[in-house]
């Protein structure tokens, strides 16, 4: 995993975004890439067997549809919540291609493992006990979103995914094919990310920014589309459990003033939805002025 400690600190603090190589999970990732490509290639009626239902976030469809008038992003997605196991809803798990379910299950486990290793490194890096962050993620939830961005002849006029920071704890993103499109906002400029083959792109989410009391940053990013090639990616979001409190870690605010409010996870989810609607960033709602 990560060897250069000083670098790791800089990446989490200044960038909130980095590519992880030599993670040891290439085989599982490649298998997941294959079934994802196969799934999106299926005829629409086949994919619709796993379609989102009214008031569900899981299933095949579009991200964040909140109104009839809204301009949608240029992409389809398939969203599944593999963890906690007790809340799995197999209704949304494709059975075509045949190996989809077992591949997703394996992928879910392996990426969970990677996130736990990163939490340990981050805890040490923040100067708290190694298990502090993972303890907060006990009973945690994991969502996996497969994104499909079709080519667009007017690629300059649309976005695959509008600018956002991930409301989650930690996102592990994998580029399925070689088509670039991910950009991060750094010093008010959009910087394209060139994916390293086989890497996992690690993205600090809003929850981690809050938990670290602002030591780590969740960075704004977006996905642009290509005018002749399709692009695919898989994002795995890792979140604290539904009974968790979201706020700066107690260990970090013993001597320092908390910069963010503490609210329970259910209220946090409501805030995520409301900030989507009012266009204000979630972090702004959580900051103590
Ligand atoms: C996301 C995301 C970027 C991409 O799913 O939250 O930022 O490249 N995806 O698909
Ligand atoms: Ni994102």
Map out the domains of the chain with their CATH numbers. Answer: 5-286 (2.60.120.330)
Q: What whole-number distance in Å separates Cα of residue 222 and Cα of residue 231?
A: 13
Residue 203: pLDDT over 80: yes
**Which two structure tokens, joined as six digits, stand for 63?**
């991200």
What the block records as the tokens of 142 is 């994991």
Return the SS3 of 184.
strand
* Structure confidence at residue 258 (pLDDT): 96
* CA 86/CA 94 separation, integer angstroms: 18
Predicted pLDDT of residue 287? 93
Residue 204: phi and psi, rounded to 5, are: -70, 130
Instruction: Report pTM.
Output: 0.93
Ligand number nearest CA of 63 is 1
pLDDT(257) > 70:
yes
Does the pLDDT value for residue 279 go beyond 80?
Answer: no
Ligand 1 centroid to Cα of residue 161, in Å, is 7
Query: In whole angstroms, what is the distance from residue 106 CA to residue 247 CA?
Result: 31
Confidence of residue 69 (pLDDT cuts 50, 70, 90): low
pLDDT band of 2, cuts 50, 70, 90: very low
| Mean pLDDT, range 73-80, rounded to an integer | 88
pLDDT band of 6, cuts 50, 70, 90: low
Looking at residue 119, its pLDDT comes to 94
Identify the band that residue 10 occupies on the pLDDT scale cut at 50, 70 and 90.
Answer: confident
Residue 74 pLDDT exceeds 50: yes
Best mutation site among 19, 36, 182 for ligand 1, i.e. most ligand atoms within 8 A of its Cβ?
182
- Number of helices followed by number of strands (H, E) in the chain: 8, 13
Minimal CA–CA distance to 232: which of 28, 26, 77, 61? 77
Q: Does position 75 have pLDDT exceeding 80, yes or no?
A: yes
Which bound ligand lies closest to the C-alpha atom of 75?
1
The pLDDT score that the predictor gives to residue 9 is 73
Largest CA distance in the chain: 58
Asked whether residue 67 carries a pLDDT value surpassing 90, the answer given is no
Q: Quote the distance between the C-alpha of residue 280 and its chain's center.
A: 19
Closest ligand relative to 143 C-alpha:
1
Q: Which of 238, 249, 236, 170 is nearest to 210 (CA)?
A: 249
Q: Whose CA is nearest to atom 8 of ligand 1?
A: 182
> Position of tokens 């890096």?
125
Q: Note the pLDDT of residue 184.
A: 92
Among residues 247, 242, 235, which one has the least CA distance to residue 287?
A: 247
Considering only residues 285 and 289, tell me which one the structure prediction assigns the higher pLDDT.
285
User: How many whole angstroms separate alpha carbon 64 and alpha carbon 41?
Assistant: 23
CA 233 – CA 179 distance, rounded (Å): 10
Q: Sorting pLDDT into bands at 50, 70 and 90, what band is 277?
A: low
Q: What is the pLDDT at residue 259?
A: 97
pLDDT in tens, 135-190: 888 788 999 999 999 888 877 788 888 888 999 999 999 999 888 899 999 888 99
Cis-peptide, bond into residue 43, ω within 30° of zero: no
Q: How high is the pLDDT of residue 66?
A: 55
Per-residue pLDDT at 104: 98
Mean pLDDT score of the chain, rounded to an integer? 89
Task: For residue 145, give the ligand 1 atom closest to its CA.
Answer: 5
Cβ atoms of 271 and 261 within 8 Å: the answer is: no
Ligand 1 pocket: which residues have CB below 6 Å?
Answer: 145, 147, 161, 166, 173, 181-182, 221, 223, 233, 235
Gap from CA of 228 to ligand 1 centroid (Å): 19
What band does 278 get if pLDDT is binned at 50, 70 and 90?
low
Distance from the alpha carbon of residue 206 to the mean position of ligand 1, in angstroms: 15
| 210 has pLDDT over 50 | yes
How far apart are alpha carbons 225 and 181 in whole angstroms? Answer: 6
Residue/partner pairs of 52-57 with CB below 8 Å, 24 or more apart: 52/79, 56/92
Whole-Å CA distances, 195 to 173, 180, 191, 240, 254: 10, 7, 12, 28, 39
């Amino acid at each position: 995993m990560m060897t250069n400690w000083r670098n790791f600190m800089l990446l989490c603090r200044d960038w909130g975004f980095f590519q992880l190589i030599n993670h040891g999970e290439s085989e599982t990732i490649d298998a997941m890439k294959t079934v994802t490509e196969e799934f999106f290639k299926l005829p629409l009626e086949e994919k619709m067997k796993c379609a989102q239902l009214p008031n569900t976030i899981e299933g095949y469809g579009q991200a964040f549809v909140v109104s009839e008038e809204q301009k949608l992003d240029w992409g389809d997605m398939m969203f599944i919540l593999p963890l906690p196991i007790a809340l799995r809803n197999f209704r949304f798990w494709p059975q075509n291609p045949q190996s989809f379910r077992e591949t997703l299950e394996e992928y879910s486990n392996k990426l969970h493992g990677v996130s736990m290793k990163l939490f340990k490194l981050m805890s040490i890096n923040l100067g708290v006990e190694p298990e502090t962050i993972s303890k907060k993620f006990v009973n945690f939830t994991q969502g996996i979103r497969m994104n499909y961005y079709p080519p667009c002849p007017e690629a300059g006029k649309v976005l695959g995914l509008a600018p956002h920071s991930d409301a989650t704890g930690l996102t592990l993103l994998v580029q399925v094919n070689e088509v670039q499109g991910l950009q991060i906002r750094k010093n008010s400029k959009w910087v394209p990310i060139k994916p390293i083959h086989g890497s996992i792109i690690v993205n600090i989410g809003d929850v981690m920014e809050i938990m670290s009391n602002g030591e780590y940053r969740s960075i704004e990013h977006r996905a642009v589309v290509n005018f002749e090639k399709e692009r695919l990616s898989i994002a795995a979001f890792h979140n604290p459990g539904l009974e968790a409190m979201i706020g700066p870690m107690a260990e970090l605010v013993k001597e320092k003033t908390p910069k963010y409010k503490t609210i329970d996870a259910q209220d946090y989810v409501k805030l995520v939805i409301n900030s989507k609607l009012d266009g204000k960033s979630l972090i702004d709602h959580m900051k103590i002025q």
